[in-house]
Amino acid sequence: MTVHRISTHLHDGLRFDVKDEGPKSGEVVLLLHGFPQTSSCWDAVVPLLNAQGYRTIALDQRGYSPGARPRGRWSYRTDLLVADVVSLIERVGAPVHLVGHDWGAVVSWGVSVARPDLVRTHTSVSVPHPAAFVKSFLTSRQLLRSWYILFFQLPVLPELVITRVPGVFARLLASSGMDAELFERVQAEIVESGALSPAIGYYRGLLLSPGAARGRSRVPTTHVWSSGDSALDRAGAELCGDYVRAPYRLEVMEGASHWIPDQEPQRLAEIIGERARG
């Protein structure tokens, strides 16, 4: 069977940008980025996975691809984000090794729970199973760490603060461990490109998706959490395994910040490969 490279993907009337690299004959690792980044967050991980023999497909998700920016918070419900990825996997034509960081992990959990037939293995990075995340509110400081989720529910104001108040966005991301070079990429790819409001739309659509990934996953899974993550408490990572009914492992990166794909690509590629090989 001839394998064709994928550079764009059409679904739900939207056009998604895709980066398809590595050996065409390799098993597919599908990579989902988080907020506030695009698929470029995987740039250091991709060649390492390609060297392991995997074909990598990195998707610029709904709101991030210029051709996939519908208006309104209802357009960013988690079930729609999951459907976008399911559609792409079905086009690939075979189950994939699914990897998601941050919001990409939220989506990857949704896909793994809803369509385990499409997922060979799952590696979630930073964000645990949504039910574990919510349960951690009761046993940790996670609710306080998640203040920005409530802030992003406000219309217009978050965008005004980020774009009109000098230095606020830079200081916020620096406090999470993001360096200046990475912030410049965020500024160009998210703020200046017009992706900011759609990206915040993920948070606004979250409260409209109460059933997202409610069930347990039956996909072999590794969850990766970093001890220097200022947004996510360890409690959620520790609870994550309770929601997987398949081989499961928790990997803790001591001292690493939230931005694992950019700052710890070698170790992350190793973890993804270990899970994919089973």
- DSSP string of the chain, one letter each residue: -PPPP-SEEEETTEEEEEEEES-TTSPEEEEE--TT--GGGGTTTHHHHHHTT-EEEEE--TTTSTT---SSGGGG-HHHHHHHHHHHHHHHTS-EEEEEETHHHHHHHHHHHH-GGGEEEEEEESS--HHHHHHGGGTSSHHHHTHHHHHTTSSSHHHHHHHHSTTHHHHHHHHTT--HHHHHHHIIIIITTT-HHHHHHHHHHHTT-TTTT-S-B-S-EEEEEETT-SSS-HHHHHHHGGGB-S-EEEEEETT--S-HHHH-HHHHHHHHHHHHH-
Angle subtended at Cα 131 by Cα 16 and Cα 158, rounded to the nearest 5 degrees: 55
What pLDDT is recorded for position 211? 72
What pLDDT is recorded for position 210? 75
Summarize pLDDT for 67-81 with one digit per residue, the tens: 999 999 999 999 999
For the domain made up of 8-277, give the CATH fold: Rossmann fold (3.40.50)
Residue ranges per domain, the chain? 8-277
- Whether residue 36 is preceded by a cis peptide bond, meaning omega within 30 degrees of 0, is yes
What pLDDT is recorded for position 207? 86
**Residue count of the chain:** 278
Task: For the chain, give the percent of residues with pLDDT over 90.
Answer: 95
Determine the Cα–Cα distance for residues 253 and 227; give it in Å rounded to an integer.
Answer: 6
* Mean pLDDT of the region 29-51: 98
What pLDDT is recorded for position 213? 64
* Mean pLDDT of the region 94-114: 97
The dihedral built from the CA positions of residue 257, 101, 27 and 276, taken in this order, carries a sign that is positive
Summarize pLDDT for 56-67 with one digit per residue, the tens: 999 999 999 999
Mean pLDDT of the residues in the chain:
96
- Tokens 């990579």 belong to 31
What pLDDT is recorded for position 5? 96
pTM of the model: 0.97
Nearest to 104 by CA among 125, 83, 122: 125
Summarize pLDDT for 193-246 with one digit per residue, the tens: 999 999 999 999 998 987 766 799 999 999 999 999 999 999 999 999 999 999
What pLDDT is recorded for position 230? 95
Are 44 and 265 within 8 A, CB to CB?
yes
Kindly tell me if the per-residue pLDDT of 19 is higher than 90. Answer: yes
Summarize pLDDT for 129-162 with one digit per residue, the tens: 999 999 999 999 999 999 999 999 999 999 999 9
Determine the Cα–Cα distance for residues 113 and 217; give it in Å rounded to an integer.
Answer: 5
